[in-house]
């Protein structure tokens, strides 16, 4: 019996032949394609259990194919990228867009087999978080405000109404949005998460509605989320063109792919997330009033951590357990005095700041107990600014030029993101960059402005 059906997409015949030979010897069924068009034909005939996809191919590159298969979410099958020398950064970017792993050329037989086996064991999810903790569903906390929030979410989830989730950055807004989806009748459908700032300009129609070119269908965000939920993160970052397109689809109850005459019904629940007052933005002329009404049928507000500090011991325990399990970190426990110190902190970064602090103490500390002195020292580092946040960044002449440039770009964009209060639209203006290019740059540098780490705590 075959161990799985693997599709290999690479323009080099030697690579295709080598990979086929290796995998068939291991008991896999293998098909090969030398181009994107040939891969589409094979995919149409039969869905593979795994795709090995070359990044650099003439005509159509692997990243474009990956985006097409993901359709704004995650491909229906695991994808492992094949990367040539000097393209590791691009391969890492691909993993952020849905690929589960990558292997480098020249191919190592052992590495290839191990990667394929591991990829086939991984479940494919529609909305995985960058920090590996997106499976968290129920917001943590026994305080009155958190109990009320969960009860409200349960009532809201039973309806089909669109929801506007507001609150401070890091407070757990995205966790609440996911929680609502998983409680709703749409939980069997896709959960697609998108940063609103990526839907902009002339490409807004293609991003939202998809397109059809030469018989090839590329679904947009709304179609990818059909039957499920679309989480629109940073809703006020939608530019004017995207606002108009989305408002027209809502008004018509459907849309057409670009280049196609077929009408597709609008079958999606949108949960919008923002830190801003959407009604005030609309009143000031910064946001379409009709779209603001549509997005905020049911408003929900996530409280900052300082307003439910009594939940901190439970949150700390939760994050320790999750981080030990997810990242194989050594277990450590917080003393009562350390927990009390955490309860008295003001937490400007909210739950995300707490989670990062717990992770830092697990990674850098020694010994079983975390005492109040160690907590105080960690909080002091946060107040004065860590090495990652230093400005101006230290000039390191020992690094190769490319790494030194990346070091500066990462520090520069992190600093500008702070100035922009997390708004990608404002960051684009400060940095003088076009938004789509800016998002690619942020992903390549490992900077996530979409707050995928903003889980807020939760129970799977």
Q: pLDDT of 115-152, one tens digit each?
A: 888 788 754 444 433 333 444 467 899 999 999 999 99
Pairing of strands 269-274, 263-265: unpaired
The predicted model gives 379-403 an average pLDDT of 58
Instruction: Flag the least confident range among 79-83, 316-320, 365-369, 397-401.
Output: 397-401
Cα–Cα distance for residue pair 272/379, rounded to 1 Å: 32
- Rounded mean pLDDT of 107-111? 77
Q: What is the pLDDT of residue 304?
A: 95
Amino acid 50: pLDDT: 92
- The pair of three-digit structure tokens given for residue 167, joined into one six-digit string: 């609150």
- Tokens matching residue 188: 């069997």
Bridge partners, 230 (sequence order): 192, 270
CA angle 233, 130, 161 (to 5 degrees): 30
Question: Is the sign of the CA dihedral 230, 236, 238, 243 positive or negative?
Answer: positive
Query: What is the chain's Cα-based Rg?
Result: 23
The pLDDT confidence band at residue 51, using thresholds 50, 70 and 90, is: very high
Query: Which pLDDT does position 438 carry in this prediction?
Result: 78
Segment 290-307 mean pLDDT: 96
Query: What does the pLDDT read at residue 433?
Result: 80
Complete domains list, the chain, with CATH? 5-121 (3.40.50.2300), 144-302 (3.40.50.300), 305-384 (1.10.8.60), 391-444 (1.10.10)
C-alpha 114/C-alpha 116 separation (Å) is: 6
User: What pLDDT shows up at residue 92?
Assistant: 55
Rounded CA-CA distance 398/385 in Å is 23
In tens, the pLDDT along 299-353 reads: 999 999 999 999 999 999 999 988 887 777 889 999 999 999 999 999 988 998 9
Q: Residue 441 — very low, low, confident or very high, per pLDDT cuts 50/70/90?
A: confident
State whether the Cα torsion 340-350-138-101 is positive or negative: negative
With pLDDT > 70 as the criterion, what percentage of the chain qualifies?
83
The arithmetic mean of pLDDT across residues 452-458, rounded, is 48
Bridge partner list, 199: none
* pLDDT tens-digit map of 59-74: 778 888 888 887 655 6
- Output the pLDDT for position 71: 65
Token output for 451 = 């707050």
pLDDT score for 308: 96
Whether pLDDT at 88 is above 60 = no
Is-contact 155 183, C-beta < 8 A? no
Looking at per-residue confidence, does 378 or 157 come out higher?
Answer: 157
Of the ranges 161-170, 394-403, 420-429, which one carries the lowest mean pLDDT score? 394-403
Does the bond joining 392 to the residue before it have cis omega, within 30 degrees of 0? yes
187-235 pLDDT, tens digit each: 888 888 888 877 877 788 888 998 887 767 788 889 889 999 999 998 9
Contact 350, 308 (CB under 8 A): no
State both tokens at 460.
């799977």
Between CA 333 and CA 362 the distance in angstroms is 9
Residue 386 has pLDDT above 50, yes or no: no
Contact of 179 with 139, CB cutoff 8 Å? yes
Mean pLDDT value across the chain: 82
Helix H or strand E encompassing 217: strand 216-219
Q: Identify the band that residue 91 occupies on the pLDDT scale cut at 50, 70 and 90.
A: low
Give the pLDDT band of residue 97 (cuts 50, 70, 90).
Answer: low
């Amino acid at each position: 019996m075959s161990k799985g059906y693997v599709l290999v997409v690479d323009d080099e015949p030697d690579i295709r032949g080598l990979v086929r030979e290796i995998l068939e010897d291991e008991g896999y069924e293998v098909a090969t394609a030398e181009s994107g068009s040939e891969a589409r034909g094979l995919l149409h005939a039969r869905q593979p259990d795994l795709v090995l996809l070359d990044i650099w191919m003439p005509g159509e590159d692997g990243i474009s194919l990956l985006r097409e298969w993901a359709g704004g979410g995650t491909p229906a099958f695991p994808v492992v990228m094949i990367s040539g020398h000097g393209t590791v950064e691009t391969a890492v970017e691909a993993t952020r867009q849905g690929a589960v792993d990558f292997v480098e050329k020249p191919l190592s037989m052992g590495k290839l087999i191990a990667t394929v086996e591991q990829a086939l064991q991984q479940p494919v999810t529609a909305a995985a978080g960058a920090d590996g903790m997106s499976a968290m569903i129920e917001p943590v906390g026994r305080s009155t405000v958190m109990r009320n929030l969960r009860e409200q979410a349960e009532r809201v989830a039973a309806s089909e109404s669109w929801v506007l989730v507001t609150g401070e950055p890091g407070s757990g807004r995205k966790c609440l949005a996911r929680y609502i989806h998983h409680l709703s009748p749409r939980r069997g459908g896709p959960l697609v998460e998108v940063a609103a700032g990526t839907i902009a300009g002339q490409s807004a129609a293609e991003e939202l509605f998809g397109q059809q070119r030469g018989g090839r269908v590329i679904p947009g965000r709304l179609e990818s989320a059909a039957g499920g939920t679309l989480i629109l993160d940073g809703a006020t970052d939608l530019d004017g063109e995207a606002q108009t397109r989305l408002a027209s689809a809502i008004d018509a109850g459907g849309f057409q792919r670009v280049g196609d005459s077929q009408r597709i019904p609008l079958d999606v629940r949108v949960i919008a997330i923002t830190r801003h007052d959407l009604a005030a933005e609309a009143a000031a002329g910064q946001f379409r009033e009709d779209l603001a009404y549509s997005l905020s049928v049911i408003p929900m507000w996530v409280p900052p951590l300082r307003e439910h500090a009594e939940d901190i011991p439970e949150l700390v325990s939760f994050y320790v357990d999750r981080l030990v399990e997810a990242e194989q970190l050594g277990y450590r426990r917080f003393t009562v005095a350390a927990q009390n110190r955490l309860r008295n902190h003001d937490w400007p970064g909210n739950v995300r700041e707490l989670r990062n602090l717990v992770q830092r103490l697990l990674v850098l500390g020694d010994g079983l107990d975390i005492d109040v002195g160690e907590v105080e020292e960690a909080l002091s580092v946060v107040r004065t600014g860590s090495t990652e946040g230093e400005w101006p960044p230290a000039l390191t002449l020992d690094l190769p030029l490319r790494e030194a440039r990346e070091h500066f770009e990462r520090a520069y964009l992190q600093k500008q993101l702070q100035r922009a209060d997390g708004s990608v639209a404002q960051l684009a203006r400060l940095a003088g960059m076009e938004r789509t290019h800016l998002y690619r740059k942020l992903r390549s540098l490992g900077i996530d402005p979409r707050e995928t780490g903003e889980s807020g705590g939760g129970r799977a």
